[in-house]
Amino acid sequence: MYKKFLQLTKNLTVSLEKGLNFITTQENNPLYFHGALPLYTFWFLIFSGIMLWMYYIPTLDRAWTSVNYITSLPVLLKDASGQLLLKNGSPVVSAISPATGIPYGAVVRGIHRWGAAAMMITTILHMLRVYFTDRHRSWRWLPWVSGVLLLMFVLFVGITGYLLVWDARAYSLVVSTQAWLEAVPLVGQGLSTFFIGGDAIRDFTLTRFFFFHIGGATFIFWLIWMHFIRLNEPVVTPSRAVNFLTLGFILVAAGVYPAVNVTNDLIAQYPVLAGDKGFIASDAPAQIGYLVDVIRYDAWYLFPYYLIEKTGVNWAWIILGGSTILLFVAPFYPKDRRDNIAEVVEAKCTGCTFCSLDCPFEAITMQERAPGSKFKLIAVVFAPRCSECGICVGACPFQAIELPNTHSKTIEADVLALLKTGAQ
Amino acid sequence: MSELQPTAPAEKKKRVIVGFVCERSIPIHEMLDAQKALVDDPETKIIVLPCSGMVKPTQMELALANGADATFVCGCAMNDCHYRTGNIMIRERLEGERNPKLRKSTDKRKVGMFFFTMKDRRPFLDALAQFKASTENL
């Protein structure tokens, strides 16, 4: 039943991708680079994050001001005379004066913001694609489990990014997080204290969030290494066309919807932002003890808080915790019969390493033979990692590695038999 | 005046094409008859394998040396091998970029490569017909 479900999802996925192939060709189908895209978007976050870091001050009284100093110029257009314009066409008084902000700071923050959205979207797309095409089970358990950890850390880093802005929304999120952590029996209070770095929110709290954000992003690199460790020649970058397409989406989003905190002052200066007026309270500087009525929730990173608001902390734990457990156990069920694992023919193996180099899942290692042997090395198959694909068989010029149920000699006999019947 | 009699068409030579097909690319199990020939093209005999990367170039040479008029391999869509790299490996082997390669003496015009998804039955058959036509007079 479950396998039939996976077959159905695979059919649907392949049909969708086939349709896209008509437009993009196989070589440039973005859905074929679903694994490389999150890593590609991560680089945008690293570089834009370093630029934002230059100006960010992690203290309660300066954090919001420093972020909005960076982004006080959401400006991008020029008229024929070179005069900079806003989206609505009104001229900007000063585009580059350091006194009013950082040139193109809103765009850099926009790249950080939309790059983060792109990373989460492509990560989820990657996860769904892998799951729907049944490429998450058995020998692929480590990439999947490390992928779930990556998803959690991307979420964690994204959430801490929202806290660093230190607007009213950030304060509400901190309060909500504390309530969520305190719901944990026995250790809840301790977790809450650990989260804010003491018994009350102080400057050190923001320093801690800053560490969570940067340290978490650094840890993501380690998890990516874990994610790739069992993969031979992982695809780490999409095709050039897909790269430019992604870059274009992020830049256009950053230019058209720059990331800014909407305030009355900003609306007075840039009327086009008035459309977001409902979120002014949410975007205003944080005040300890003041919770806003309407929070501007980001769909990709702040959905846990929406869940907490709608269901309460206990149900949020049950839903989020239960989903996480399901994701972690997914690669271990159902189990396949594994009866065609590659076997090395010891007498024929010359130690040439071809099979080891070509194995897509790093299942073959080369080991030293006993002293005095005819050949120095021998291939050794680590059965739990073997996918039974036979790529090692194709790589071996000496017929020294075989799939027992799909033996090369059987294939060659079949070829000759087919030629015989075909000629009659 | 004697009438011109139409001559009987010369009997077309029976050809044999041997294909090595990944079971996760085109829906090959639905496309075969009991003799392991394609239902839509009985001249084409098929060896089904778990992955196109399992094909040894020597097996394709064996087919050609023993009477096959042409041989081909069919794997998953490029960039989307179920086992990640099988289609890339066989492509590189047949193009001489990865060991083991085809022998230099092999007529590469008789060696085809196709990469299709499980939804590509018709495009595969069209590509095969084109390949067969290109090898007809070799």
B93-109 pLDDT tens trace? 999 999 999 999 999 99
pLDDT at A422: 72
Mean pLDDT score, A177-193 = 96
Interface test with B, best of A391, A403, A405, A406 (most B CBs within 10 A): A391
Are residue A48 and residue A136 in the same domain, yes or no?
Answer: yes
Residue B6 falls inside a structural domain: no
A284 plus A405 within the same structural domain: no
- Annotate A277-311 with DSSP letters as a single string: GGGHHHHSBP-TT---SS----TTTSHHHHHHHHH
Determine the distance in angstroms separating the CA of A217 from the nearest CA of chain B, rounded to an integer.
Answer: 27
Q: Is the domain of A105 the same as that of A142? A: yes
- Scan residues 115-134 of B and list those with Cβ closer than 8 Å to A: 115, 117-120
State yes or no: pLDDT of A88 exceeds 80.
no
A307 and A395 part of one domain? no
Q: Which residues does A303 contact at the CB level (< 8 Å), separation at least 6?
A: A297
Q: Which two tokens stand for residue B53?
A: 């990367």
Contacts of A54 (CB under 8 A, 6+ apart): none
Q: Does pLDDT of A249 surpass 70?
A: yes
Residue A243: predicted pLDDT: 95
ipTM summary value? 0.91
Instruction: Name the more confident of A167 and B9.
Output: A167
pLDDT at A187 over 70: yes
Query: Does residue A118 lie within any of the structural domains?
Result: yes
Considering A312, A332, A352, which residue would you say is the last residue of a domain?
A332
- Of the partner residues B35, B54, B62, the one whose CB lies closest to the CB of residue A391: B54
Same domain, A70 and A218: yes
Domain that holds residue A151: 2-332
Q: What is the pLDDT of residue A423?
A: 66
Average pLDDT, stretch B3-22?
A: 77
B86 contact residues in A (CB cutoff 8 A): 360, 389, 391, 394
Nearest Cα of chain B lies from the Cα of A409 at a distance, in angstroms, of: 10
Please compute, for residue A135, the number of CA atoms within 13 A of its CA located in the half-sphere on the CB side. Answer: 21
Mean local confidence (pLDDT), A214-223: 97
Share of chain A above pLDDT 70, in %: 89
Find the CATH number of the domain harbouring A158: 1.20.810.10
Together in a domain, A236 and A369: no
Per the structure, the complete domain to which residue B91 belongs is given by: 17-135
Mean pLDDT of all residues in A259-280: 69
| Reduced 3-state DSSP string for A186-212 | CCHHHHHHHHHCCCCCCHHHHHHHHHH
Segment A319-348, tens digit of pLDDT: 999 999 999 999 998 888 899 999 999 999
Domain total for chain B?
A: 1
As a whole number, the mean pLDDT across chain B is: 92
Token pair for A33? 């680079």
The mean pLDDT of B68-81, rounded to a whole number, is 95
pLDDT of residue B4: 59
CA trace torsion A108, A114, A118, A120 (10° rounding): 110
pLDDT of A262 above 80: no
At residue A52 the predicted structure's pLDDT band, cuts being 50, 70 and 90, is very high
Q: Looking at the domain assignment, is residue A338 inside a domain?
A: no
Residue A249 distance to chain B (closest CA, Å) = 23
Q: Dump pLDDT digits (tens) for A6-51.
A: 889 988 998 998 888 889 888 899 989 999 999 999 999 999 999 9
Q: How far is A418 from chain B (nearest CA, A)?
A: 6
- pLDDT for residue A94: 37
B50 touches chain A (CB under 8 A): yes
Residue A421 has what pLDDT? 86
Domain count, chain A: 2
Asked if pLDDT for residue A210 goes beyond 60, the answer is: yes
Locate the chain A residue with the closest alpha carbon to B22.
A389
The model's confidence at residue A269, banded by pLDDT at 50, 70 and 90, is low
Residues on chain B touching A35 (C-beta within 8 angstroms): none
Chain A residue numbers touching B56 (CB-CB < 8 A): 393-394, 396, 408
Question: Which of these three, A332, A365, A385, is where a domain ends?
Answer: A332
Question: Measured between beta carbons, which residues in chain A are less than 8 angstroms from residue B98?
Answer: 358
Using DSSP bridges, classify how beta strands B41-49 and B17-22 pair: parallel, antiparallel or unpaired.
Answer: parallel
B30 within a domain of the structure (yes/no)? yes
Same-domain pairing of A242 and A349:
no
Q: Contact B16/A418, CB-based, under 8 Å?
A: yes
State the average pLDDT over residues A91-111.
63
Considering A273, A298, A332, which residue would you say is the last residue of a domain?
Answer: A332
**Inter-chain residue contact A235 with B79, CB threshold 8 Å:** yes
- Does A418 contact B56 at a Cβ distance shorter than 8 Å? no
Nearest to A33 by CA among A167, A174, A129: A129
- Residue B127 falls within a domain, yes or no? yes
Residues A320 and A387 in one domain: no
Same domain, residue pair A180 and A320: yes
A121 & A204 share domain: yes
Q: What pLDDT does A72 receive?
A: 65
Q: Which of residues 16-35 of B touch A (CB under 8 A)?
A: 16, 18, 35
B48 touches chain A (CB under 8 A): no
Nearest CA in chain A to B52: A391
Residue among A21, A393, A421 whose CB faces B54 most closely: A393
Given a cut of 70, whether residue A91 has pLDDT beyond it is no
pLDDT tens digits for A278-314?
677 788 889 999 998 888 888 999 999 999 999 999 9
Please give the mean pLDDT across all residues of chain A: 89
